Amino acid sequence: MKTSEKNEIIELFENHFNEKVKTFEMLPVSGSYRQYCRMQNENRSVIGALNTDVKENTAFLSFSNHFLKSGLPVPEVFAVSSDLRKYLQEDLGDTTLFGFLSATREKEGFSENIVSEYKKVLKILPKIQIIAGKNIDYSVCYPRDAFDKQSMMWDLNYFKYYFLKLAKIHFDEQALEDDFQLFSNYLLSANSGFFLYRDFQSRNVMLKDDDVYFIDYQGGRMGALQYDLASLLYDGKADIPQSVRTRLFDFYLSELKKYMTVDEEKFTVYFKGFVLIRIMQAMGAYGFRGFYEKKEHFLKSIPYALRNLEYILKDTNLPVELPELFSVLRQLIHSEVLKDIGQVKTNLTVSITSFSYKNGIPSDSSGNGGGHVFDCRAINNPGRYEEYKKLTGKDLAVQEFLEQKSEIGIFLNSVKVLIDQSVKVYLEREFTHLSVSFGCTGGRHRSVYSAEKIAKYLQNNFPVNVVLVHREQQF
């Protein structure tokens, strides 16, 4: 986020609440180009969003207003900028369903505690699809108002050009195109008069105060019920065991029957078709972000998608013949190249520490004898000024001082060049640990700011684990 954009979103907060922002924190980027930040003071914590795609924002804001009026658990929107590119929304914390799943699974396996959270989600999903979907304004949908023929062909061609071709999978283009036409026509024969969330997956469900909340539904449109259920249950890295998927599928159907009559056999056959197109859409995204944009962490999802694809191919008998499509999909699940590309070849952990030179350079607990140590003392020191002495590099006032009245940006750009070189080599050679330390006089301002910025930079650009410690703040 540019300094001017940061200032504008802070101004939006301060004008709306008539309060000053005390701390400003950029949140990690995801698969979209939207940027999020957290702004806090003694009274509140708010999420700020920046997105230059005004049509997408319009859809999100309209849907949010409708869902809130319908009593659905979505974030409240507090304020919107006049250019519709920035808005403030309720802070629902940091715990996504995927985060909870991952942490709980390490201790308990895929336990009933996880199943219980999924059931909360599936209890609300029909309300989103049916009740809220009845009177929603589909005219604001972007880029299409329905998951129609055009939308499906976009997804299928996305898969073809950004995954199959980049993964060097052989296919007869005309035969595959013919199968795409038949496949999309079949899916379009399903009842599609419902709200389709579009990206209904575990990272877009927040857990807070024992309740579930829903975010990132700006891609919503009219469509079939099965698509969102397929998105959730075959969410790649969530890696839900098949026995649990079956239980959750049955639970959803029992909830759905509270709102409408369901032909279970017909619903199930369509469901498997929508699982296939959802997996292909996701693989297109992995290919675009991973193969094309070279963002390696997207490639880590490929093995999960391949496993899901292998299962669904064994268990699917669609009422249309799709020989070239199924030939391509079978090539994918047997591709040793893809399995190798998708594997995480290292478990590199980067330990980032801020410290005071008065207390010595931090020791390296990994046994490697140390790593990069960067001296921040040549940077203009906010700690010399009374108004900043009790603050740290995590406070907005200190961040603004460093960004506007020092050469911290030039310093960190040089740091990134050196760290990039080390991280790339460490990943290639399968090393497991790198330490990076930032020191200044008191270990409160310049070093803390630098450590925070580099930690976020590495998290967003490399498949590494980052451990961040502000040593002097622990005393």
Residues 131 and 207 in one domain: yes
Q: Which of 270-284, 301-315, 365-379, 461-475 has the lowest mean pLDDT?
A: 461-475
Task: Output the pLDDT for position 338.
Answer: 82
Last residue of a domain, one of 34, 67, 90: 90
Residues 305 and 191 in one domain: yes
Residues 250 and 362 in one domain: no
Question: Residue 345 above 70 pLDDT?
Answer: no
Region 197-214: what's the mean pLDDT?
96
Say how many domains are in the chain: 3
For the domain that residue 56 is a member of, what is the CATH number?
Answer: 3.30.200.20
Task: Tell me which residue of 425, 459, 427, 460 sits closest to 352, measured CA to CA.
Answer: 459
State the Cα–Cα distance between residues 340 and 317, nearest whole angstrom: 29
Residues 63 and 136 in one domain: no
Last residue of a domain, one of 291, 309, 342: 342
Residues 314 and 247 in one domain: yes
Task: Output the pLDDT for position 237.
Answer: 84
Residue scoring higher pLDDT (9 or 466)? 9
Domain hosting 364: range is 349-474
Residues 315 and 428 in one domain: no
State the Cα–Cα distance between residues 448 and 111, nearest whole angstrom: 38
Residues 154 and 279 in one domain: yes
Residues 221 and 276 in one domain: yes
Using one digit for the tens of pLDDT, what is the confidence trace for 300-325? 788 889 989 999 998 888 999 999 99
pLDDT class of 216 with cuts at 50, 70, 90: very high
Residues 230 and 335 in one domain: yes
Using one digit for the tens of pLDDT, what is the confidence trace for 416-439? 999 999 999 998 888 889 999 999
Residues 52 and 176 in one domain: no
Residues 326 and 358 in one domain: no
Question: pTM to 2 decimals?
Answer: 0.75
Residues 364 and 444 in one domain: yes
Alpha helices (H) along 51-172: 54-69, 97-108, 112-126, 132-134, 149-159
Q: Which of 177-181, 184-188, 466-470 has the lowest mean pLDDT?
A: 466-470
Last residue of a domain, one of 90, 110, 135: 90
Question: Residue 343 above 80 pLDDT?
Answer: no
Task: Tell me which residue of 124, 120, 143 sits closest to 133, measured CA to CA.
Answer: 124
